[in-house]
Structure 1
Amino acid sequence: MAMEIRYATNPTETKSYDTDRLRSEFLIENLFVPDKLNMVYSHVDRFITGGVIPTTEPIKLEADKHEMGADYFLERREIGIINVGPAGTVTVDGTEYVLESKDCLYVGLGNKEVVFKSANAANPARFYFNSTPAHKNYPTEKVEISKAEPQHLGSINSSNERTIYKYIHLNGIQSCQLVMGMTLLKPGNMWNTMPCHTHNRRSEVYFYFDMPEDGLVFHLMGDPGETRHVVVRNEQAIISPSWSIHSGVGTNNYTFIWAMAGENQEFTDMDMVAPKDLR
């Protein structure tokens, strides 16, 4: 298990960052390594973002005692897990949950043992997760993508025709503060979250996947009047502080998982930014 620490930043400082500094502060490049559990602990709303590929042996989710000050990972946390690969299982305190591709599992505060396993070691699962602090236990719950209610938005004329699946939210899986879902862009569409927004009451993490090897997304971030971009490739994530926009355009269509945490769980709580006001 490896956990990297990222500290919080502010818009005044960030506008002076060069490319390398932007990437080192916000981009999470190497989440998926076979037989390893990699995590990034961000001081932005105390997000932990991680990925794990179990092959021949199951992999247990364990706390970094030094960084988390906890005896087990969910002692003071909750977690949302989405499988972005072939089938696998997540076992929570002895109860096994089968996750097919794009299925989601929420695990609440106080569960002591979470174990990841692939159905086929030669074609392993790829579990992506986000975790945030929690103050109350909510039941462990699985939602299959086939049972998640789709919301169709956008149009081909603006290159953002897409389907949103909300998994963990006020009208779905209940949680303390974690909100989590997934957006699938239809073929021929490349833009996400444009017109863009900020939400000063919560931060967000984007995880891009389902991209070809030579594909990429130009992820837009920063204060609306001082925008920057970061090149993001397949199965990479990017941290978006509350003051930053979070939008992007790809070289082809793609899928991304979004996770939010902070002051509230209202999905529509956004401060919209008109395109004419971006710089």
Structure 2
Amino acid sequence: MEVRYAANPKDVKLYDTRRLRDEFLIEDLFPSDAVKMVYSHIDRIIVGGVVPATKPIALEAGSEIRAEYFLERRELGVINIGGKGTVTVDGTAYELDNRDGLYVGMGAKEIIFASADAKSPAKFYFNSAPAHAAYPTVKVGLAKARRVELGSQAEANKRTIYQYIHPEVLQSCQLVMGMTVLEQGSVWNTMPSHTHDRRMEVYLYLNMPEDAVVFHFMGEPGETRHIVVRNEQAVISPSWSIHSGVGTRSYAFIWGMCGENQTFTDMDHIPMAELK
């Protein structure tokens, strides 16, 4: 498990491109027949990818969290972005098609990921946050997710938000998770921008061809920076940072949040005149 430490905004002002990428960008998140995890000290989130191409893969607790099993003190959100697969939680198998999600509560001891077809393996993306109470495991298909439409073609940000792990869909301790899909011709996300000092966020960008990129904007509103992000790469966003992006074509992204509260609309909006 790779460990990333928290970053002070005063220090981030001095980072060059390589340092920004080293601290906030997660590359190579989906190695075949393996689990990749990044443990961030920002609200203790764990970001991971699992591709069980030829064999089932169990989710193990690393020495970094000093737990007997992975969800001893944590909760988990999973979204499948690959072929059909299953997540087996303490003996109960949950089939996940592409874009299906699963919430797993604290206390589940055995988590096993598997693919239905080795030629088209599942690709599981997950976020995990510390938890204080146990809630039931719930599968959330795309149809069950809470749907919110935002933006306009005129502003090049017409998009649909699918809220998978959200208080109006299911109970969780602090984890909130979902997916945003931009319509053809729309390229901006989360613009006008905002911060939410009460929780951090991670973006996984997807549905991008090889030659496409997203310019992910971060930093304090008056000291913005950017990171060039490619398909199926993730960006860690501290609570003090904006998190907006513009792509060379339309795309989707999975967002996950944890921190002080679960109120999705608790945002500190930034007037366009303040961006620099």
TM range (shorter): over 0.9
Q: Supply the AA of the counterpart residue of 2:238.
A: P
* Percentage identity across paired residues of the two chains: 65
Corresponding letter in the other structure for 1:171:
E
Letter of the 2:57 counterpart? I
* SS, match of residue 71 in structure 2: helix
Please list, as runs of the form range in 1=range in 2, the aligned pairs for 1:56-135 lying within 5 A after superposition: 56-64=54-62, 66-135=63-132
What aligned pairs does 1:33-44 form with structure 2 within 5 A after superposition?
Answer: 33-44=31-42
Which of 241, 245, 264 is equivalent to 2:242?
245
Q: 1:218 is paired with a residue of what secondary structure?
A: strand
Q: 5 Å matches for 1:158-177?
A: 158-177=155-174
1:180 corresponds to 2:173: no
Counterpart of 1:249, as a letter, is: V
Conserved 8 A contact 2:146-2:168: no
Match of 2:24 in 1: 26
Q: Which runs of 5+ in 1 are unaligned?
A: none
Post-superposition shift, 1:122?
1.1
1:219 aligns to what SS in structure 2? strand
Q: Distance in 2 between matches of 1:39 and 1:78?
A: 15
State yes or no: 1:255 paired with 2:252: yes
Q: Please list the CA deviations of residues 171-193 of structure 1 after superposition, one character each: whole Å capped at 9, or x if unmatched.
A: 11210000001000001110000
Structure 1 residue aligned with 2:53, among 55, 58, 64? 55
Q: Which residue of 2 aligns with 1:277?
A: 274
Corresponding residue SS for 2:20: helix
Aligned counterpart, 1:201:
198
Residue 275 (structure 1) shift: 1.1
What SS does the aligned partner of 1:146 have?
coil
Letter matched to residue 38 of structure 2: V
| Secondary structure in structure 2 of the residue aligned to 1:125 | coil
Q: For the residues of structure 2 that align with 1:251 and 1:130, how far apart are their CA atoms?
A: 27
Normalized against structure 2, the TM-score is what? 0.99
Determine the structure 2 residue equivalent to 1:13: 11
TM-score by length of 1: 0.98
Match of 1:220 in 2: 217
Moved over 3 A (4+): none
- Pairs aligned (count): 276
Gaps of 5+ in 2: none
Residue type at the aligned position of 2:168: N
| TM-superposition CA deviations, 1:212-247 (whole Å, max 9, x none) | 011110000000000000000000000000000000
| Bigger helix fraction | 1
Cα RMSD over matched residues? 0.6
